[in-house]
Structure 1
Amino acid sequence: MKDWQILTSFVYPHEANMVKTYLDSEGIETIVKDEMTVQVNNFYSNAIGGVKLLVRTLDYEKGIETLEKGGYIGDAHKTKNRVETLFYEVKSDKKKCPYCRSENIGKRRNPDYLVLVVYLLLGAIFPIFRNSYKCFDCSKEWKFKRKK
């Protein structure tokens, strides 16, 4: 196992097996690690780092290129997505992505850090959320703030 390297990891075993099949069809030998542990209890997935897909060290670069070609990983997966704050005027259009101008966006409600503090102090969670938006075409996240 010394010459094997983790190519990527997944939350669920079926995702790893789909990518394993794709890489095997391209001639890259793979091993799925921690698959059975996650199948026994799905909640262990994050604790153990997910279901890992391993390739030989010699095939690592070829595996990355193959996954990029197949659309399994891209620029959004290489860098961590950040929620950017955008300032807007009253007449601005909030129904389009400010980056790619797509209308394929969704609203997300992320819990605020204040919720964690209240939970630790009182033992109860109050519904305090911060709204952000996500574009499903360019995978960018942002939130709006009114200009003062």
Structure 2
Amino acid sequence: MDSSWVVIANYQYSSEAQIFKGRLEAEGILVYIQDEYTIDTDPLMSHAIGGVKLKVRQVDRDFALEILEKMPKYSLTNEGEKIHCPNCNSTQIHYFTTIQDFKSFVAFLGSWLVAALPFYAAYEYRCEQCHTKFKKI
């Protein structure tokens, strides 16, 4: 029996990986998260080292990928319903952070200079279909 571990997904933050780890473990799959403490210590390193890696045993790979495919990839409301684009009514909505104005840039730069995480960031939803950006649901 092959007991080697394979990467099935990469995430920017360990909190994202923990959500998927919990779902896979609920199905009885052994899961290992690599580089989570490195990213938690210095989140700016995430892209440099390839993010937080979600690993499963080779024998569980296909089943784990099947489970991950069934999980929602797009933003949901607090009630678990899909968010709709106000422009085209699509449900393929992503939630992301961005530095888009002078205030957020100055806050980001100031926190970067003192080697801390950014204290201010703008959060927006973006429609994957029509690329409309909006703040509130």
Q: Normalising by structure 1, what TM-score?
A: 0.51
- Displacement of 1:96 in angstroms is 3.1
Q: Report the counterpart of residue 53 of structure 1 in structure 2.
A: 54
Could you say which residue in structure 2 is the equivalent of 1:37? Answer: 38
Measure how far apart 1:141 and its partner are.
4.7
Residue number in structure 2 paired with 1:9? 10
The one-letter code of the counterpart of 1:32 is: I
**1:69 shift after superposition:** 1.8
Measured in 1, the distance between the counterparts of 2:48 and 2:130 equals 26
SS at match of 2:67: helix
Change in CA separation of 1:51 and 1:96 when aligned onto 2, cut-off 3 Å: same
Alignment match, 1:81: none
Partner amino acid for 2:87?
K
Runs of 4+ in 1 over 3 A off after TM superposition: none
Give CA-to-partner distance per residue, 1:34-58, whole Å, 9 cap, x none.
Answer: 0111111110111000000001111
Which 5+ residue runs of structure 2 have no aligned equivalent?
75-85, 99-125, 133-137
Identical aligned residues as a percent: 33
- The residue identity in structure 2 corresponding to 1:54 is K
CA distance in 2, matches of 1:15, 1:142: 24
Q: Which residue of 2 aligns with 1:21?
A: 22
Gaps of 5+ in 1: 75-94, 110-133, 144-148
What is the DSSP-based 3-state SS (H/G/I as helix, E as strand, rest coil) of the residue aligned with 1:60?
helix
Take 2:43 and 2:67, find their aligned partners in 1: how far apart are those partners? 28
Return the index of the structure with the highest Cα Rg. Answer: 1
CA RMSD of aligned residues (A): 3.2
Specify which structure has the higher proportion of strand. 1
* Number of residue pairs the alignment of both structures matches: 91
